[in-house]
Amino acid sequence: MKKIMDKLFNLVRFDKRYVLFCLILVILGIACGSIFIVILNGSDKSLAIEYIETFVDTIKNNSFNYIDTLKNTLIINYLVIFIISILGFTYFLTPINILILFYKAFVIGFSLSSFILTYKIKGLLLSIIYIFPHLIINILLFSLLIAFTLKLSLKMINSIIRKKEVNMRVYFNKYLYTGLFIFIALTISSLYESFIAPYLLKLVVNIL
């Protein structure tokens, strides 16, 4: 059993340098998203507030469609995994993955600020329930996958420049196991986001 676990660990382990880069990017994205709402004009802020109020009212009035939310969440998450993976194998298009990660983090930061703008102090608690832990887990999973694609791309570019062969089978196996691990984790996270998080939001909204 220990040998099997060690083998799996070696297959899915990540280079800390690339992971750290992605985490710094995530922090910057969340910070920018949180600040962005401050520079919006009045009408755009009103739209953000209206969206949050409609979302919360839908949950509060038992109009929230859990199944449709699960379907949409799974489709979006799987699509993001697919796009990141494909771009990772194109090598020179991998920087687009960095933009995807920044955008995902930006949305989290913007959602956080929107809840606070709409419900003030109560909005802080609601935003935490809305974001934690599923959206944080999602962004971390995307960070791990993108960190792997960055390492792979730089390896390939370096091999092209130096005219050295790279054992793609080793990287493909790691890519496969990494993708499978992230796929399963995102599925569990999506279930939480679609069923548990809305239920917790409803409880808090009714109490407050």
Give the predicted TM-score (pTM) of the model.
Answer: 0.85
Between 52 and 174, the more confident residue is 52
SS3 40: coil
Kindly state the tokens that stand for 127: 């935003």
CB-side neighbour CA atoms (13 Å) of 144:
19
Determine the pLDDT at residue 166.
61
145 in Cβ contact with 84 (< 8 Å): yes
Instruction: Place 29 in a pLDDT band, splitting at 50, 70 and 90.
Output: very high
Domain boundaries, the chain: 15-34+41-207
Tell me the C-alpha distance between 83 and 154, whole Å: 18
Which of 5-14, 64-73, 171-180 is least confident?
A: 5-14
Kindly state the tokens that stand for 126: 């609601």
Tell me the C-alpha distance between 7 and 122, whole Å: 47
- Asked if the model's pLDDT at residue 187 lies above 60, the reply is yes
Kindly state the tokens that stand for 62: 């038992």
